[in-house]
């Protein structure tokens, strides 16, 4: 996908699509691409034709992307410690977190091994997911923090959970995230602990899948 998109954009639109960090599919089967570049969001139709791009100069490290049932686009910028919510045509609708202000976890230079304690949103967040039934937003906050944050559809924080460590409910880089809309469960890739932890919607630990090798993403079909 990375190579294909690069060739399409480079040949036809004189743009460079580099370091793709996420892909989401909207209700029109358009591919919404998130990349670490000057223009971080690029949209293609189902045949690979360029549709639009936006976000130029807004982000430092676009890391994750997802789309809700209204085709709003959520982009996690770990470099600026925020999550941006855009309309489908690129209008900025909401920003979760405080631009360029990481939460205080005691981490040194964003090194997860130096995190002393969990804190509020955000310190180098990784990925986001939106629940179909109510639009609630879940964000993994893992490079400089050790938590998962649960927001309502208006961006108000409902709860957070997680501390640095190895026990159930603790994390070393919570990374990928997926939501089971049938059960309400939240699946978290606990990357450096080499497992996937499963929680209820309010952060109660349910079970884990162990023995994986640095899982980065998870998807529920």
Domain ranges of the chain: 1-100, 102-154+168-221
* Rounded Cα–Cα distance for residues 64 and 142 (Å): 12
pTM equals 0.92
141 near 125, Cβ under 8 Å?
yes
CATH fit for domain 102-154+168-221, picks 2.120.10.30, 2.40.128.90, 2.40.50.140, 3.90.25.10: 2.120.10.30
> What are the φ/ψ torsions at residue 2 (nearest 5 degrees)?
-60, -50
Is residue 49's pLDDT more than 70? yes
CATH number of 1-100: 2.40.10.500
Residue 40 in tokens: 């971080």
Round the average pLDDT of the chain to a whole number and report it: 92
Average pLDDT over residues 68-90: 97
pLDDT digits (tens, 9 = 90+) for 177-221: 999 999 999 999 999 999 999 999 999 999 999 999 999 999 998
Domains 1-100 and 102-154+168-221 share a fold: no
Q: For residue 12, what is the DSSP state?
A: H
pLDDT at residue 16, as a whole number? 64
């Amino acid at each position: 996908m990375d190579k294909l998109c690069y060739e399409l954009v480079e040949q036809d639109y004189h743009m460079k699509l580099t370091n793709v960090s996420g892909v989401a599919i909207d209700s029109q089967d358009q591919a919404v691409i998130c990349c670490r570049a000057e223009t971080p969001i690029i949209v293609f139709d189902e045949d690979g034709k360029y549709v639009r791009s936006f976000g130029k100069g807004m982000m430092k490290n676009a890391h994750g992307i997802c789309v809700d049932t209204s085709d709003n686009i959520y982009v996690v910028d770990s470099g600026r410690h925020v999550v941006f919510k855009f309309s489908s045509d690129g209008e900025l609708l909401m920003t979760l977190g405080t631009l360029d202000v990481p939460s205080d976890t005691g981490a040194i230079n964003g090194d997860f091994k130096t995190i002393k304690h969990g804190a509020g949103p955000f310190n180098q967040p990784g990925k986001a997911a939106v629940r179909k039934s109510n639009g609630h937003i879940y964000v993994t906050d893992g490079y400089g923090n050790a938590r998962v944050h649960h927001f309502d559809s208006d961006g108000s924080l409902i709860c957070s959970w997680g501390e640095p460590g190895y026990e159930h409910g603790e994390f070393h880089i919570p990374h990928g995230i997926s939501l089971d809309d049938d059960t309400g469960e939240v699946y978290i890739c606990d990357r450096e602990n080499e497992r996937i932890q499963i929680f209820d919607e309010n952060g109660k630990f349910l079970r884990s899948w162990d023995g994986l090798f640095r899982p980065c993403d998870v998807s529920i079909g």
